[in-house]
Amino acid sequence: MPRPTLTGTTIGAYRILSLLGAGGMGEVYTARDRHLERDVAIKVLPEAFSHDQLRIDRFRREAQLLAALNHPNIATIHGLEEADGALYLVMELVPGQTLAERLQDGRMPLDETLRVCRQLAEALGAAHHRGIAHRDIKPANIKLTPDGRIKILDFGLAKSSDDAKTILSVDDQPTMAVTSPGMALGTPAYMSPEQVRGEPGGTRSDLWAFGCVLFELLAARRAFAAPTMAETIAAVLMTDPDWHALPNDAPNAVRDLLRRCLDKDPQRRVQDVNEILTAIDRAQREGPATEQTGPKRTIRSLAVLPFVNTSGDAQMDYLGDGMTESLILGLSRLPLLKVTAQSSVFRYKGQTDRALDIGRTLGVEAVLTGRVLQRGNALQISVELADVEGWRIWGAQYRRRADDIFAAEEEITREISENLRLTLTREHTQTLVRRHTGNVEAYHLYLKGRFYWAKRTQDGLARSMQYFREAIECDPTYALAHAGLAEAYIPQAFYCHIAPSEAFPRARRAAQRAIEIDPDLAEARAVFTAIRAWYDGDLRGGEQEARVAIARNPNYPRAYQALAECLTVQGRFEEALAEIKRGVELDPVALYINAAVAMAYYYARQFDAALAQAQATLDMDASFYPGQLFLGLACQQVGRRSEAIAAFERASDLSQRSTLTVSALGAALASDGRTTEAAAILSELDEAARRGRYVSGTWVAAIHAALGDSDRALASLERARQDKCCWLLRSVRLDARFDGLRNLTRFTALL
């Protein structure tokens, strides 16, 4: 049976007229002030809690907080009184509807939404300035007066910054109770992730709730709606709002603001109200987004930014990264579209809030951002395509079973191409949606392999090979997995982690199998470039493979790098630099390809240019040890010996004393006359070889050459020839460190 109300009774000087609402924090009535002849709102502590000291303290605290605030968008308190054993707040009676009641008529127009939310933000700013967080912002707690002004009501869950007491409340609907320290307060659909986890909910939780209100006013649906409280909490913690539910007229500034307000990480969330006000000002200047204001041109260049893993589990990062790579791979096959390479976009992982700025930095016309969540067999993907000028082109949300991931990727890729306004032939369309495997387990293993391969560390490469092998076990016809395994072997040999005699034959078998399955696979063709040029000594054959790879996929930057290296060793320096710069255009911030430019300049004996390029590479990431390696080589040739030694020492530390970088350091020490230290390096390398580590005879020969020991230098080069060292051909033909040997008959014979 319904509980009795106070309607018709008198409390002190107030005649109770009607019940406005009730909840765990109190009952609110319309009352008549008999002394001042005005209507007021009275909030009464329920009788059941009249002897609960914690409840009474909380009630008094609400009065104190309201008394500390004086803002036109916050309901005014007239006083805290007690009569006939009842404790009650006397407050301003605000006419009009709550926003929750207003939403029953449908979504609010954009201009009205922006006016309302500006007032809401200003009111929150005033409270936050006084160190007060509301902690229960929701449409039901916001009144909209007939003259268009909003008033925030119900500071029952508010807390000041110096209030450290535990606050208790009963469980009610829809307010979530706090029953002990560390439990959550608020209304689940509007609570921040940290609140539902029972962590302190401060001003940033208010900004999250602001985002929830803004979304609901625009979409006429909650950002996090579910049939039960438990499912609502799960949605807040694990899923994104359906961004596609926003109306087409929502300006990009509003969409960006919503994403920032509703970021699950409070550190990345909007930090204060001023950011909200700035975004609203921008949105009001932009006005409604319409199809007429959006881009009519065909988009010819695109960056797919790394998809955000919203699961909260870092072990699932591979899924977002893998989906990003899959989309890049599919879209890059279109000859009409320039797609920024993976290594460039992955430098901006975790920065999707800067998507438009990143797109402009990368020199593209549009950016695609996305979020992915997998829980059990449930997969949720949300994507948005935007012009870098600020116009939203398209957005969608997909809910699939995890084993339908291929269909989801195909649908996304197809819809992206349609919204880029590309005109595709039937052949292009078939290429766009081509699958390399139908085995979901193999696909996930491949994604994990690519995830670790991208780290380019010795451990990362080893782990990537294991995942590629497991993917092949699941699906022996998976061409990309075979190509991935082949690709992982090449840098292992190049950076002297394993011997060429071990790496290249295995890479050849894997690449050959990939090409047997898919003759057009550019990734495998680029691997054959390295095998034929640096292991077989067939530069022309390597060049041919690189050109085939480029023909198969003109957007594949590593193919241009492979071609440039073949041309460099043939002495065709102008052609080589032109090709490697095409690779840079496709992948402008890729460290490996920028280091390859420095290498091309070094072997072309343009040492100043090599030095500048190596430094530019390190400006992007000083921890990239190949950049330090080529900086050291260039410094050595322009007479900056101490800087060369410092660079090689950094490279050695960063690579965990790889034999390649230690050898480079030894040669630099020898050139600087520090023969004792150079001899110690040679001893270290001998010991490493005895322990089974691969030591390049080419790089050891450079130490002996710098020490003036031509016999040992030539003996080391002969050992490198027998080992088929991948550095030998370029070094004996072009490396200035061997100039002192070039007049020797044995060196000429070796060459």
- Catalytic residue numbers? 136
* Whole-number Å distance between alpha carbons of 224 and 561: 47
| Helices within 454-590 (DSSP H only) | 458-474, 479-494, 500-517, 522-530, 539-552, 557-569, 573-586
Q: Phi/psi class of residue 131: alpha, beta or left (left: φ > 0; alpha: ψ in -120 to 50)?
A: left
Query: Crossing angle, helix 539-552 and helix 557-569, to 10 degrees?
Result: 160
Q: Which two tokens stand for residue 328?
A: 């890049």
Tokens 């909840």 correspond to 23
Secondary element (H or E) of residue 89: strand 86-92
User: Could you tell me which residues come within 8 angstroms of residue 248 by beta carbon, excluding any fewer than 6 positions away?
Assistant: 289, 290, 291
Under DSSP, the state recorded for 108 is P
Contact 579, 543 (CB under 8 A): no
Contact 143, 96 (CB under 8 A): yes
For β-strands 159-160 and 132-133, DSSP reports them as antiparallel
Under DSSP, the state recorded for 534 is I
SS3 string, 293-350, reads: CCCCCCCCEEEECCCEECCCCHHHHHHHHHHHHHHHHHHHCCCCCEECCHHHHHHHCC
Torsion of CA 675, 678, 683, 686, to 10 degrees: -130
What does 167-183 look like in DSSP terms, one character per residue? ------SSSBP--STT-
Q: Indicate if the alpha-carbon torsion angle 99, 102, 107, 110 is positive or negative.
A: negative
| Helices within 73-192 (DSSP H only) | 99-102, 110-129
Contact 68, 116 (CB under 8 A): no
What does 559-610 look like in DSSP terms, one character per residue? HHHHHHHHHHHTT-HHHHHHHHHHHHHHSTT-HHHHHHHHHHHHHTT-HHHH
